[in-house]
Structure 1
Amino acid sequence: MHRFNPPYKGFYDVNSRKGKSATKEFNVSFYDNYDSILDDNLVDIVDVCVPTFLHKKVVIKVLKTGKNVLCEKPIALGLKDADDIINEAEKAKGKFMVTHNHRFQVENVMCKEVADSGKLGKILSCSSYRLGIRPDWSEGNWMNDPKLSGGAATDFILHDIDFCNWIGGKPIMVTAQGIRSKTGAWDYMDILINYDSGIKGFVEGGWMCKGEFPFTQEVRILGDKGTIDWISRAEKNIEKRAQAASRVAVYLEGQSVRYPEIQKKILMRSR
């Protein structure tokens, strides 16, 4: 959200040290509890960044105040909680949105724009891959507890499913297979998606890679007249992906490889 430079009012975090550190960075207030955020009439939008298992409780409480709510993905751990949130959002005065942030990532936006432009011809397939090592930075290691995060399937691979949905449209059939890690979660998966548009979606992802395996993202959109390909490889730590080596290329029938304006944006971003 920082890319759009909204006026921040303040932060709340159960870890006051981290919360106060963020307030210094943005020069805003630190709230002692999140009820005080809800009571502040100057707050228009609440971005709910709590661990996934707390989404339903916090989101519904904020929606009942009439404030607008951004909920970090995924919407919830299960369908029942997701439906409860949706039902409350439909009644609420404020607006509700799940922040699938990769729809705003500059490389993904360019891939979508090129696909929509018709330059690739009829879109035949969308492939999205996301591979990395197990996360080790979450507070209390909650991300590695499938009862709290859902594992890679809901916390990690979800980005790639959403991107394929963005390109493909409405899924009509899904086939998936996966590997359970020692935590019991589906932490590595291959997914095939058929869309009502006729586009095929191919997703591979997981965080079961070992050692120094770099955080890797790849998108490939295949058309009957061309292909756009994006690949990004960072250090093993996903938090350093802003410094990743990233390349987008467009391959059109009968033409030399093209590197669109996205390359300039990537270079400018890295400076």
Structure 2
Amino acid sequence: MTLKAAIIGCGSIAQNRHLIEYRNNEETEITAVCDIVEERAAIAGQIYGAKTYTDYEDLLNKEEVDVVSVCLPNYLHAPVSIAALETGAHVLCEKPMATSSEEADRMIEAAEKSGKKLMIAHNQRFVKSHVKAREIIESGEIGKVYSFRTTFGHGGPEGWSADGADSWFFKKDEAFIGAMGDLGVHKADLIRYILGEEFTDVAGFVENNAKENITVDDNAVCMLRSESGILGTLTASWAYNTTEDNSTVIYGEKGMLRLEDDPDYSLVATFTNGDVVNYKLGKIQSNEEGGQTNTGVIDHFVESVLNDQTPLIDGYEGKKSLEIILGALQSGETREIQSLKKG
């Protein structure tokens, strides 16, 4: 069975990830694309042999598609995902999942009501060094985990976004949140995945101190505490102007794991007994290199649909990662530690 795919939003993330990966997946055929910028939609339609639309409602009403990728500004993630689910399509939505917990709940409810899959495109879970680190921690090789630091930073979306310095990424009414939503939510999801546990408290320092004429954050440093008492920092920045940093370091009782922190090895495990294990697992995807390698996101989404399996990052998982950055944002405003516990 070949799945008919529609991509709503034909900006950079669609051009460099979704469109390419759907085309390369033998189980899918891109039949429709949509973008509010008519020329952008037309170019994508021509390249991929798809019908073009400038109105997503028009596309959903006229096209019978099996899967939809939502690659739009953050404030549109929930309404467009819900609309697609209600028409009977499975939905892959870009991160952050939504702009509030309430929106996320409505997305989850729409997926359950329709009986369709909802997946959030947190691609860091599919990076080989991250998968291996999770396995090492689960096996007990580094013993009890005490702390971590994880960061994601680069020079900002103006370098790669389809609209450059005029990008929606910089506008609060469309993005809702800046570097924390663009990059921080990736690391929130990743550290939950690697450690295999949830976080109970977050304190955030969330600022706009690097770029002018933007209405969202461009620098954030957060402190997190997990349910078992692991402490760590999460940073997200659009002010790493020399090079991209997408590293994570885990400190444990018997050793330390350095992920995407060494120029030659994607994972370096150093143990208290003096042993060092270097893993060469391939490079992490980077905006600096054009991002043409396969993220694994579309392949996993398609496999989940065809095999009727719950995606690795379903709506519930997407919401948990979203709530970490929402908590950090609230902490930054109130100058108080925010509890992530429910009830």
| Alignment match of 2:208 (pick from 180, 198, 209) | 180
The answer to whether the 8 Å contact 1:126/1:167 transfers is no
2:227 matches 1:196: yes
2:149 to 111, 127, 131: 127
1:148 and 2:179 correspond: no
Q: Deviations over 1:173-195 (max 9, x none)?
A: 11112322443423211111111
1:41-94 Cα shifts (integer Å, max 9, x gaps): 3x2211111111111221111011121111110111233322332332332221
Tell me the secondary structure at the aligned position of residue 193 of structure 1. Answer: strand
Tell whether 2:59 aligns with 1:36. Answer: yes
**Residue of 120, 129, 132 corresponding to 1:110:** 132
Deviation at 1:166, TM superposition (A): 1.7
Preserved CA contact (<8 Å) 1:38 1:62: no
Per-residue CA distance 1:215-253 (angstroms, 9 max, x = gap): 1111111221111102359xxxxxxxxxx8763211122
Q: Which position in structure 2 is the counterpart of 1:76?
A: 98
Question: Partner amino acid for 2:128?
Answer: V
What code does the residue aligned with 2:207 have? I
Q: 1:224 to 1:97 in 2, by over 3 A?
A: same
Q: Deviations over 1:82-119 (max 9, x none)?
A: 23323323322211121111111233222222222322
Structure 1 length normalisation: TM-score?
A: 0.81
Task: Mark the runs of 5 or more structure 2 residues left unpaired by the alignment.
Answer: 1-17, 285-291, 294-343
Q: Secondary structure of the residue that 1:109 maps to in structure 2?
A: helix
Unaligned ranges ≥5, structure 1 = 234-243
CA root-mean-square deviation: 2.7
1:254-269 counterparts in 2 under 5 A?
254-260=273-279, 263-266=280-283
For the residues of structure 2 that align with 1:218 and 1:257, how far apart are their CA atoms?
A: 18
After superposing on structure 2, the runs of 4+ consecutive aligned residues of structure 1 that deviate more than 4 Å are: none
SS at structure 2 position matched to 1:73: coil
CA distance in 2, matches of 1:197, 1:28: 51
Higher RCO (CA 8 Å, separation ≥ 6 residues): 2
Residues 34-73 of structure 1: matches in 2 within 5 Å?
A: 34=56, 35-37=58-60, 39-41=62-64, 43-73=65-95
Corresponding position of 2:253: 224
Note if 1:171 corresponds to 2:199. Answer: yes
Identity %: 25
Q: Which moved more, 1:7-16 or 1:193-202?
A: 7-16
Q: Is the 8 A contact 2:248 2:261 kept in 1?
A: no
Question: What amino acid does structure 1 have at the position aligned with 2:245?
Answer: T
Higher strand share: 1
Q: Cα offset for 1:20?
A: 4.3
CA positional deviation for 1:196: 1.2
SS at match of 1:208: coil
Aligned amino acid, residue 257 of structure 1:
V
Corresponding residue for 1:237? none
1:160-209 CA distance string (max 9 Å, x none): 11112223412111111232244342321111111113322321121134
Quick one: structure 1 residues 38 and 219, their matched pair in 2 at CA, closer, same or farther if it must change by over 3 Å? farther
CA shift for structure 1 position 264? 4.5
Paired AA for residue 152 in structure 1: A
Q: Does 1:8 align with 2:29?
A: yes
2: CA distance, partners of 1:60 / 1:118: 41
Q: Distance in 1 between matches of 2:138 and 2:128?
A: 15
Q: Distance in 2 between matches of 1:245 and 1:215?
A: 15
TM-score calculated relative to the size of structure 2:
0.66
